[in-house]
Structure 1
Amino acid sequence: MPEERLAAEGAFAPLAVIPVYDHEHAIAAVVDGVRAGGLPCLLVDDGSHASCAGVLDALAGLPGVALLRLGRNQGKGGAMLAGFAEAARRGFSHVLQIDADGQHNTGDVPRFVAAARACPQAVICGIPAYDASVPKARLYGRYATHVWVWINTLSLHLRDSMCGFRVYPLAPVLRLVGEERIGRRMDFDSEILVRLFWRQVPVQHLSTRVTYPLDGVSHFDVWRDNLRISGMHARLFFGMLARAPRLLWHRWARGG
């Protein structure tokens, strides 16, 4: 299996996976920034329209840039799951996830990679440092998810589960997605992090500047995505109840 091959090889080999859906005005700058940080890129075209698809075709001609095209839109989570599988097929050990809309600071890519290299078994999770461009409703709305994540992990350790700038160790991710269903859309970021935490995968945090967004395009559907996220929290809550003794034991063993 892919994770067994990667574990056997033991090499640190990170790949940036960028899910893209109609971000043709921002994606080139994101790719340039990631490449300047020294990482190869896999662009996952999540059913983009022709204008964006053409931009992605051109970018895929650059050194170190590959393109995986999905036949229909599957959502951010679906695109990332496809990216994980492709990264494993290509022999990479880690995946750096970064959004395509330009909100993340690509100048921090070397910091994230260095942290992952120093602790290769951990998820390196971004903690957003927002500027004035962040919509206040989005900023304050994040705290509802923060509280639910703290409840569902019985811990305050996960400081922000919604930031899409992070590095995953690929082997435990492949095991997780092979055994459990993960949300395919905007519920993905929080759910996969909670489920990895449940499996005792370490999570480390790095502060990173976030700007909203470079191209003015957001695919967050206030009603549908909030409904999905609410359903995800409910599923995780019942999963937490079943795992509560073990979670509390590990919390005590960690010293809090």
Structure 2
Amino acid sequence: MTLPDRPALQRVCICVPTYNEADNLEPIVVRIRAAVPGAHLLVLDDNSPDGTGAIADRLAAADPHVHVLHRRGKEGLGPAYLAGFAWARERGYDAVVEIDADGSHQPEQLPALLAAADHADVVIGSRWVPGGSVHNWPAHRRALSVGANTYARLALGIGVRDATAGFRVYRMSALEQMDLSEVASQGYCFQVDLTLRALDRGLTVVEIPIGFVEREVGTSKMDDSIVREAALKVGVWGFRRRSRALRERLGSGQRSSRWHHLEENRDT
């Protein structure tokens, strides 16, 4: 399917949330700056006790394309990204990117995600579409991710195969339609929340395949509370969506959303 062109992205802000990523931050900043030298990078540090914030300040002092937003403490992935989105909007950026600081999202794939935004409002770097992959994950992590995404897809009635993915591009015009002031999700449930908001507003969401690499340094921020939050909220959202759809079928009809899967071009 050919999608219509969107306005070219002139100013892009890459948001990198950090908490105790002192060993990972400088390498990932170097890789991001090399992959997309025209973009700006915003480190969102949650007052890391290991000195990550000081490293970020040093990198920002040496490079005008690197910025730092110091936050009061560890408040979760969702609030960190929302703060970054607000920072970027205030400064007139056309799009924001979500990327992890630990190297699991490969910065070298950023140009492909940004190119896909030429035809989309939201771009998701997906592990679970053809061409996507995960590396160095134990079987239980793979099963948890596949199971969570299958649950979200079935419970919410959406086509997105990697709704929990955290490697994304959002056009600012899309975020402005998504009522972000109402978002209260933490952890990886935040990604499902924003996916759902985009689809429910009829925005164009595309998935492109990425290779996800498990971190080599530091520890994952995933814990049982994040899993419980996602399971509970997705179940509630699914019930509400199905109830609303039933009412609309009985009344004025259903509202449709668009989702597209762009497969990897294996000739390139």
Question: Identity rate of aligned residues, in percent?
Answer: 24
Matched, 1:114 2:96: no
**CA pair 112-136 structure 1, distance change in 2 beyond 3 A:** same
Query: Which residue of 1 is the match for residue 79 of structure 2?
Result: 78
Instruction: Specify the alignment match of 1:4 in structure 2.
Output: none
Cα distance, 1:244 vs. partner? 2.0
Partner AA of 1:103 in structure 2: S
**In the alignment, does 2:17 pair up with 1:19?**
yes
Matched residue type, 2:147? A
Conserved? CA contact 2:135–2:211, under 8 Å: no
TM alignment of 1:39-118, pairs within 5 A: 39-63=39-63, 64-116=65-117, 118=118
Most deviating of 90-99 and 195-204:
195-204
Aligned-pair CA distance for 1:177: 3.5
Shift of 1:249: 4.9
Matching of residues 1-256 of structure 1 within 5 Å:
12-37=10-35, 38=37, 39-63=39-63, 64-116=65-117, 118-119=118-119, 121-128=120-127, 129-155=132-158, 157-178=159-180, 180-221=182-223, 223-244=224-245, 249-250=255-256
Q: Is the 8 A contact 2:102 2:217 kept in 1?
A: yes
Partner Cα distance (1:150, 1:196) in 2: 15
TM-score normalised by L of structure 1: 0.86
- Number of paired residues? 243
Deviation, 1:248, is 5.2
For residues 109-148 of structure 1, the C-alpha deviation after alignment (integer angstroms, 9 at most, x for no partner) is 11111111x22x4211011233441122111111222223
Q: 1:100 to 1:75 in 2, by over 3 A?
A: same
Listed as ranges, the gaps of 5+ residues in structure 1 are: 1-8
- Match of 1:5? none
Structure 1 stretches of 4+ with a deviation exceeding 4 A read: 245-249
SS of the aligned residue for 1:250 comes to: coil
* Letter of the structure 1 residue corresponding to residue 201 of structure 2: R
Q: Which amino acid aligns with 1:115?
A: A
Taking the aligned partners of 1:224 and 1:131, their CA distance within structure 2 comes to: 23
Distance 2:135 2:67 in 1: 34
| Paired letter, 2:91 | R
Change (3 A) 1:147 1:86: same
Matches of 2:175 and 2:134 in 1, distance apart?
31
1:22–1:52 Cα contact (<8 Å) kept:
yes
Conservation of the 8 A alpha-carbon contact between 2:126 and 2:161: yes
Moved more, 83-92 or 106-115: 106-115
- The one-letter code sitting in structure 2 at the alignment partner of 1:147 is T
Q: Deviations over 1:49-73 (max 9, x none)?
A: 1422222221222320000011111
Greater CA drift, 96-105 or 171-180: 171-180
CA RMSD of aligned residues (A): 2.5
CA distance in 2, matches of 1:113, 1:11: 8
Aligned 8 A contact 2:47 2:73 in 1: yes
Q: Post-superposition shift, 1:17?
A: 0.7
